[in-house]
Structure 1
Amino acid sequence: MSQDALQALRPLNALADEDVAVELPVALTVNGVSQAVMLASPTDLQDFALGFGLAEGWFTSRHELLGVEIEPRPEGIELALTVTAACEQRLRARRRTLAGRTGCGLCGLESLAQFGALQPAAVTAPVLAAGALDRALAALPTAQPLNARCGGLHGAAWCRPSGELVLAREDIGRHNALDKLTGALARRDADLRDGFVLMSSRASYELVHKTAMAGIGLLACMSAPSSLAIETARRLRLQLWAFVREGRATRYA
């Protein structure tokens, strides 16, 4: 296991062979200006910075993010993002402060009008092969080595329509795990029309929103969906599956 991955685990005590998930404040600054503070696991932070920025509409493409410096602080970690001048001007025009929690994707919005302004464009779902969700689900535990050790991390996986699991990311927060995944995919210039996201969590609005913002047309989750997640998925023509368990799945949109 990499040193980066080990930073996300901490021994419970010196006598017990048990690990717990690490959760730290992660502050994101853009060209020296504070933009957001999230609680996250300290792994794959460059992927997180890019994925979070794309989901929030900070960047129109990965090329607007010029660099990320990971700077340890006494209180947590600062991700110092350097962006293009055009990107900086857009952020100045609509700057907002977002104080995030592991279960919330809307903290920091000042009004319902801002909530409506965040809506992404409609997406197109891939055609799944028979048994694709079962195959992806069976592969997910192997793709979550940190969760296997502590049991406290969510997983987000990128899968082919055949069910082949290609890439996964982990975090204590489900939306952070998805940001890390979409950031990693963006860095690889992956064709996001040719696959789907599998999440180890429930299907929340924030996950539907972030999936659609990435241009991905299908989201599958292991647990229950929320009403707003279903409504949003239907409006965006995003295919939403939930209660994805061995041998079963329910399509909600």
Structure 2
Amino acid sequence: MNLHLHPIIRLPQTSVDKGMFSAGNRVLPEEVPVALTYNGSTHAVMMASPADLEDFALGFSLSEGIIAKPDDLLSMEIVEHDLGCEIRMWLQDVRSKAYRARRRAMAGPVGCGLCGIESLAEAVKPASKVHGALHLPPWAIAAAMSDLARAQQLNREARAIHAAALWRPEQGLIAIREDVGRHNALDKLAGALARANEFCSGSLVLLTSRVSVEMVQKAARMGAPVIVAISAPTALAVRVADDCGLTLVAVAREDSFEVFTHPERIQRIGP
């Protein structure tokens, strides 16, 4: 099987309507295993849409703290295999030493109790502090989400793909990335912005998914002061967003939305 890294594919199907069968086809999102390797060692294997993989690898590396800036990567190569693809990355010397130390810590003793405690702490670690004096009129939220919906090219065809985007007042949509995985879409966006040297201060991160704690942590690391999502957040996501200073807006519809944290960035209209 040769994938050729197509993010969507048309497959045959049979429709059944009121007992009547008819043959047809449907455009579906592809998902493939993507192995992320550093200095020859596999770090993680993620199921992802095979598109914008350079952005994905860079964004993942940044959000996981493996690198601090794009220049920390010496090189990147995407190698396609029968079952998926591998993204081979090589780190600068300083980052290589830190990465080796990190891998040794990850491979430490198991069953002592402490390792489990450390893993739990890592999962709910505080997000990066977010600053910024962005103030938005309520209509800006609806305008941003409308721009997001119009820009989802892959989802328009396959109807099963998440998106993450950056939107800025006075400029509109700056960048958008799509993936079958909501985390992947946000990592791809982070990578695309880093490659373009775009900063997230004064901007909104837009999501077509629910907001879990990892999404808050990733957006905070990007430096975005506001997240706007179509679906609801988790309670932990709200607590972490509140602690790090991020405005979390969710359940965003055409004429309504809910603000869960730091509402001072949303301008009040009327009494």
Same fold (TM over 0.5): yes
Partner of residue 119, structure 1:
126
Cα distance in 1 for partners of 2:70, 2:190 equals 11
1:111-146 superposed Cα distances (whole Å, 9 cap, x missing partner): 213335x43321024222441111111111221111
Q: Tell me if structure 1 keeps the 8 A contact 2:7–2:50.
A: yes
- Residue in structure 1 matched with residue 211 of structure 2 by the alignment: 203
The unaligned stretches of length 5 or more in structure 2 are 14-22, 108-115, 262-271
Using the size of structure 1 for normalisation, the TM-score is: 0.88
1:135 aligns with 2:129: no
Task: Tell me by how many angstroms 1:76 deviates.
Answer: 1.1
Alignment equivalent of 2:47, drawn from 34, 39, 42: 39
The structure with more radius of gyration: 2
Q: Does 1:7 align with 2:3?
A: no
Q: Residue in 2 aligned with 1:59?
A: 67
Return structure 1 stretches of 4+ with deviation > 4 angstroms. Answer: none
Equivalent position of 1:156 in the other structure: 164
* Superposed displacement of residue 110, structure 1: 6.7
User: Which residue pairs with 1:101 in the alignment?
Assistant: none
Q: 2:193 and 2:158 mapped to 1: Cα distance?
A: 26
Contact 2:127–2:240 under 8 Å retained in 1:
no
Q: Shift of residue 47 of structure 1?
A: 0.3
Corresponding residue pairs, total: 239
Q: CA RMSD in A?
A: 2.2
Structure 1, residues 8-53: CA drift from partner, whole Å, max 9, x if none?
Answer: 1011228634111101110000111111111100000000001001
Q: Tell me the TM-score normalised to structure 2 length.
A: 0.83
Alignment of 1:1-253 (within 5 A): 7-13=6-12, 16-95=24-103, 96=106, 111-116=119-124, 118-125=125-132, 126-162=134-170, 164-253=172-261
C-alpha separation between the residues in 2 aligned to 1:250 and 1:44? 32
Which consecutive unaligned segments of at least 5 residues does structure 1 have?
98-107
User: What is the alpha-carbon distance in structure 2 between the residues aligned to residue 25 and residue 109 of structure 1?
Assistant: 30
Aligned-partner SS, 1:13: strand
Q: Is the 8 A contact 2:34 2:45 kept in 1?
A: yes
- In structure 2, C-alpha distance between the alignment counterparts of 1:175 and 1:161, rounded to whole Å: 24
Query: What's the % identity of the aligned pairs?
Result: 40
